[in-house]
Copies of this chain bind each other. A is one copy, B any other.
Amino acid sequence: MIIYSKNIYLENKKISGFLKIEDKKIIDIVETTDEFTKDSLNNYVLNDLKWDKDNEILDYSDFTIIPGFIDNHIHGWGTGSFWFEKSKKSITEMQKNLPSEGVTSFLATTGADTIEEILTQIDEASLIYEAEQNGAEMVGLHLEGPFVSKEYKGMQKEENCILPNIEFMKSFYNRQTSKGLIKLMTMAPELDGAKEVAEFCKDKGIQLSIGHTGSTFDKIKEMKDYGFGGFTHTFSGMRGMHHRELGVVGAALYFDDMYCEFAKQTGLTVKHEAFDIALRVKTSDKIILSTDCCGLAMTDKPWHHYVRKITLIPQENGVMIKHDDGREEILDNSKYENVRDLEMSYIDSVKNVIKHSKVDIFDIMKMASINPAKYINIYDKKGSIDINKDADLLVIDKEFNLIETVVRGSIYN
């Protein structure tokens, strides 16, 4: 496959030119300032580039090509919830529908569940990880807990928020059939046992992230050398900032070598202005966008979402949405279009960032593709448009509407 566009965004520059894609990868990039008609484009590819004439040429002249989004923090999406269902099938559902929201790879994310439940999730995710994948690529697991603070549990189950335990951590690690499956671990660094677990994770190449935590600023200053490289859903589920005890929020803003992950920018959980302050302090070099979506429609038990002011109640053929104000509706959760709007998608969250903050396409690429890839150490194969990297691409228009998604060299429709 050959892609032509006047607006291809490489990591540090925009070019006009061609991408040659074979075997799921970008194998060549050619820059040209020539203008083409349909015929001259074909001639240029055949005669000037001397690229194989059997290659399909996709002409996206006036559209923009950027790398696909990478969601490091997603429990579920649409018709699949890895968090609630804990099944291989739930991941398959996510893979199927995420490309339509701009996501070409993701970390299936667990929560504070029982040790047995997390082990089950590792088993199911292993089945996906080791086979040929279709749709958005599940590049690994993000274990959000269970070693997190009860006090800052947010929507995690309090009874499952436990102290860091090296034996449990080893059991997670050993349960993986491929040792690279677990890529990210959210933990509260102030808890007893955190050092031992952190050292183990660092040694095994698992990125540590600070989250659901009541840590002090000084504790984070001490623990960042143990492998904690950033903060999970910054502002939420963490000790706030005071000017004499900067807390976790203060540390997140202050340490310029640490990443701040932000859950989807609805403006509801974290006000746009709060995000914007963080963006100005950290710059797009150190911000990571994620969705923290759950696949709400697939809930296995009734639960109240305190920020959104709704209760989700599983039904025989779907899910009931009961608003705090009394309104009720039942959705058939087997159909993606019915449940798609229950949560804000990655691309809509990106559009909100563009709407409320001063950012350009390079900033968006950093926050949505480059930084998430670097954070979980997959930047050698994903996160930017470069030779020998996976052909994970988005074709967008000037309003950041998604025209086409290319996932490992295949057009997603």
Contacts and interface: CB of A to CB of B under 8 A. Distances in A.
A273 B217 contact: yes
A273 B254 contact: yes
A328 to B, nearest CB: 26
A253 B241 CA distance: 13
A269 B243 CA distance: 8
A308 to B, nearest CB: 13
Contacts of A250: 273-274, 277
| Residue among A235, A236, A240, A241 facing the most chain B CB atoms (10 A cut-off) | A241
Interface of A: 217, 235-236, 240-244, 246, 249-250, 253-254, 269-271, 273-274, 276-277, 280-281
B240 A241 contact: yes
A243 B280 contact: no
Total copies of this chain within the assembly: 2
Given A241-B241, A281-B280, A246 B217 contact: no
A235 B240 contact: no
A240 B246 CA distance: 11
B271 A244 contact: yes
Nearest to A267: B244
A235 B236 CA distance: 21
Given A280-B280, A280-B281, A281-B281, A270 B244 contact: yes
A392 to B, nearest CB: 31
Contacts of A274: 241, 243-244, 246, 250
- Please list the 7 inter-chain residue pairs (A to B) with the smallest Cβ-Cβ separation, ordered nearest first: A235-B243, A243-B274, A243-B270, A280-B281, A254-B273, A253-B277, A281-B281
Nearest to A358: B256
Contacts of A253: 277
A274 B277 CA distance: 13
Nearest to A234: B243
